[in-house]
Chains A and B, each alone.
Chain A
Amino acid sequence: MAQTATQNQQTTGINVEFDVELRKVFKVFNGEIVVRGIDLSIRRGEFFSILGPSGCGKTTTLRLIAGFETPTAGDVLIRGQSMLNVPPYRRPANTVFQNYALFSHLTVWENVAFGLRIKKRGKAEVQERVKEALKLVKMEGFAKRFPAQLSGGQQQRVALARALVNRPTVVLLDEPLGALDLKLRKEMQVELSNLHQELGVTFVLVTHDQEEALSLSDRIAVMVDGKVEQMGSPSQIYDRPQTPFVADFIGDTNLFRGRIEGAHPTMLWVITDKGLKMKVQPANDTNGLPLTSGAVVVSVRPEKVNVGFSPPDGSLNCFEGRLKHVMYLGTHVHYVVQLLSGDQITVRQPNALNVPTGDTPVYLHWGADDCLALPE
């Protein structure tokens, strides 16, 4: 079995059945390497997201699974069977396309029935399954309409029904909510999650929206430049990022460049380029070995920083600064603080009664557990 260094630890040693596996998959377009040796194992019934900025190769990866692209090297497996010589129309995977790609000459009902009719299912079975699928996405009342007569959200539901009606092993979703407005997107996220729980089918979602990936997924693979940067559960990705890119891409963070001054099994001392001395929890390098020396980037999440107006008792990870901006956001407050060293730090605190004004001297501090040293 292809194991990566980033493999979720709780799976090792346990015999889990995989619905989709990519083994050292490469894809080259016109001399440009779009996918560079991806290893993925997606478990049965999992909601798996591939998250990354545009152009990172995530859509190509999905198309490799669907069969619209053939890998330049490596292997794609569905339920343990190699798909290298299997055309898209014989793969047990169905795709929900970015712009839905509904057939505009067919009604909603005919769109959903398309897959079953191609497979020459009996009339009664087609009737029953299409009705069931439309009910699942709450579109029973629209069966006779044409796609052009539907709103974006409704077209999205039809596209989902058209994929689900075939009862595929895996449902591939290519930025399915990208074209919807924010409110509708939130609604559809909840529905996607409900559908996934109800059906227990494996979902593979491609998205650039980190919030969407965090809220929906069982596991996330963060992709950049055609490689999987990190793979894990949403909390692992958010709380234990393994690279500065992941820390920065998922949520907000404050990054400090520096080097390791002292290493202990339980903690690291880091001096930043601007001269701040920090106690940081230890981290592993890209090979999984503990970091002991060299250049690192320290990541501190804005919500982990405490703000005080008088010097705290201890001096551990405590820095004085001036309040530059205060952004009142209702549920919480954003502070932008300029440290005496010159670094600028964003702090996020729950809504407080008396919000301080600008240029107030403040003291920021955070625990050693609240920041991470990442290999440069």
Chain B
Amino acid sequence: MQAPSKSPLRISWQALFSVLMFGFMYLPILVLGFYSFNQSPNSAQWGGFTLSWYVKFFNDSRILSALSDSLTVAFCAVGISAIIGTLMAVGLARYRFPGKQLYQGASYLPLIIPDIAIAVSTLVFLAVIAVPLSLWTIVAAHTVFCLSYVAFVVSTRLVNLNPHLEEAAQDLGATPYQSLVRVLLPELMPAIVSGCLLAFVLSMDDFLIASFTAGGGATTLPMEIFSRIRTSVKPDINALSVVLMVASGAVALIAETIRYRSEKKRLQ
């Protein structure tokens, strides 16, 4: 009997399955990218190569203002989450206090709760406490889930960290504050950065929560895209989607590279 690994039939089945799977996953995106270079404004037919759609949306003031809103929301939400999320992860990992288990469970809930539930509950809550909707209410709502992601990534790193590092720092004369700033935070920095980049991508992506909590003329990029495609899909939206995907991919790649390099440095 032949060894199964040498059978050419088996390998070709695996290859076929892989091709089908990747096709299923990425073909729509490739089609989108392809049409973003299509000169014809009508999506159905090919009218020659052009970059004009890219130029067009870069000159579109509504898209640019939506982009600036999105970036403002993402930077603010991630900035706040980076600080609170890191402190939360450190506090949960390093201190014992009553109700810690409950706190731990509750802090990761936003990862599981459906976006629509967060969106509706935030909207209702804001109405109850009579806060007018604005760009800053989106920031607040985004902070809720960004916080969980940052805390989650940081706490994963904390678990693998030597529990005696801060004691070692204090043993060498560092006050608790100095040992946090000069030892624990640098040791956690790769995790903090990759958690932030992950949260950043998710915040830039979010349509549902933003559309429920936006007010005062604030419009994020996904909201702007959604409002435009309700009429018809224009090639400039294709172009914008391609740019968004490339940017998200780049951010994810940076996050992964930082994580990989820090792991390599530690585990060489």
Contact = CB atoms under 8 A, between A and B. Distances in A.
Interface of A: 66, 68, 87-90, 93-95, 97-99, 101-106, 114-115, 118-119, 146, 148-149, 162-163, 166
A148 B164 contact: no
Minimum-distance CB pairs A-B, first 8: A115-B172, A101-B168, A101-B164, A118-B173, A105-B186, A88-B170, A148-B266, A89-B170
Interface string B153-177: 0000000001011011111111100
Nearest to A166: B172
A241 to B, nearest CB: 34
Contacts, number: 71
Given A146-B265, A148-B266, A149-B268, A101 B165 contact: yes
Interface string B230-268: 000000000000000000000000000000000001111
A253 B101 CA distance: 49
A148 B172 contact: no
B172 A162 contact: yes
Contact of A118 (B167, B172, B187): B172
A97 B168 contact: yes
Contact of B174 (A105, A118, A162): A118
A103 B183 contact: yes
Contact of B178 (A103, A118, A146): A118
Given A114-B182, A118-B182, 4 more contacts: A89-B175, A101-B167, A105-B187, A146-B266
A103 B187 contact: yes
Contacts of A115: 172-173
Contacts of B170: 68, 87-89
Given A115-B173, A118-B173, A118-B174, A103 B266 contact: no
Contacts of B183: 103
B268 A148 contact: yes
B95 to A, nearest CB: 14
B267 A148 contact: yes
Interface of B: 162, 164-165, 167-175, 178, 182-183, 186-187, 189, 265-268
Contacts of B266: 104, 146, 148
Contacts of A98: 164
Nearest to B171: A95
21 contacts: A66-B171, A88-B167, A88-B170, A88-B171, A89-B174, A89-B175, A95-B167, A98-B164, A101-B167, A102-B168, A103-B169, A103-B183, A104-B187, A104-B266, A105-B189, A114-B172, A114-B174, A118-B182, A146-B265, A148-B265, A162-B172
B265 A104 contact: yes
Nearest to A120: B173
A97 B265 contact: no
Nearest to A113: B172
Nearest to A98: B164
A68 B167 contact: yes
B183 to A, nearest CB: 6
Contacts of A95: 167-168, 171
A66 B173 CA distance: 12
Nearest to B264: A148
A99 B265 contact: no
A114 B169 contact: yes
A168 to B, nearest CB: 9
Contact of A103 (B167, B168, B267, B268): B168
Contacts of A88: 167, 170-171
Contacts of A114: 169, 172, 174, 182
B265 A103 contact: no
Given A148-B265, A148-B266, A103 B175 contact: no
A89 B176 CA distance: 9
Nearest to A115: B172
Q: Give the one of A66, A88, A163 with max B CB within 10 A.
A: A88
A105 B161 CA distance: 12
Nearest to B167: A68
A106 B182 CA distance: 10
